[in-house]
Amino acid sequence: IHYTMDPVFDYNLDNHSTTNDIIKTTEISVNLHFGYREKFIVDDFNRMSIGSKIPMVDLKYTRGISNVFGSNFNYHKLDLKIEHEFPLGNMGKSNVWLRTGKIFNPLPYPLLNIHLGNQTFFYAWFSFNMMNYFEFISDQYASMTYVHHFNGYILNRIPLMKKLKWRTVVNFSVLQGSLNQKNIDLIPASEQNFTTFTGEPYMEVGYGIENIFKVLRIQAFHRLTYKENPGAQVFAIKGTFQFSF
């Protein structure tokens, strides 16, 4: 994979200052996936995993190679993802995603881990829904996303709600990371608008209702830490369309 980026900021690499220099990278990645007796839904063009009886594991190694198609950087990255669904009988089911990763070489911050924020009105399961864009970056991190679908365990006890077939859902996300001083030194002071992790992790919690009219999910979210960050939003209501099986 080859990337070309034209940053609007200056950066330093190996003590050589560059001004609005184009960042070019060429990467080779190897991904190992383990899913014991994993099951899939397959149509003519797509294949969707519906899980495995034990946790599924993805291990990805990325090698950045310089002087290939004009690339500038040599680097190594490792990323690990573990996900699993826990059926809990009448109490519904839980889904857990664990992720961790590390970058082993100093790089300009567009090539670091820029953790996905979400400043829209739409819920996104793959992002941190109360985090701003480009708010947190790291060169090593660990995160967990936990979602529990109660199915009808709570609302089915209310007669009128039972007929609607609405379902309650809660989720919790936590992220901890760090940024090496060598990477911080590459970023001009005027561009250091991001947050580095202190002793506490970033955390947020959400709760709401899904299966509204069989396609709508609405949740309230609270940001639990780093609430004093500039522009931080501590509460939001977000929705999404989804189909439940």
24 has a pLDDT exceeding 90: no
222 has a pLDDT exceeding 70: yes
HEC string of the chain equals CEEEECCCCCEEECCEEECCCCEEEEEEEEEEEECCCCCEEECCCCEEECCCCCCEEEEEEEEECCCCCCCCCCEEEEEEEEEEEEECHHHCEEEEEEEEEEECCCCCHHHCEECCECCCCECCCCCECCCCCCCEEECEEEEEEEEEEEECCCHHHCHHHHHHCCEEEEEEEEEEEECCHHHHHCCCHHHCCCECCCCCCEEEEEEEEEEECCCEEEEEEEECCCCCCCCCCCEEEEEEECCCC
pLDDT for res 240:
94
pLDDT for res 139:
94
Q: What is the mean pLDDT of the chain?
A: 88
pLDDT for res 99:
98
229 has a pLDDT exceeding 70: yes
Query: Per mean pLDDT, which range of 65-74, 78-87, 223-232 is the poorest?
Result: 65-74
List, for residues 166-210, the tens digit of each pLDDT value: 999 999 999 999 999 998 888 777 667 788 888 899 999 999 999
List, for residues 127-171, the tens digit of each pLDDT value: 999 999 989 999 999 999 999 999 988 999 888 888 898 999 999
Residue 10: pLDDT band with limits 50, 70, 90: low
29 has a pLDDT exceeding 80: yes
37 has a pLDDT exceeding 70: yes
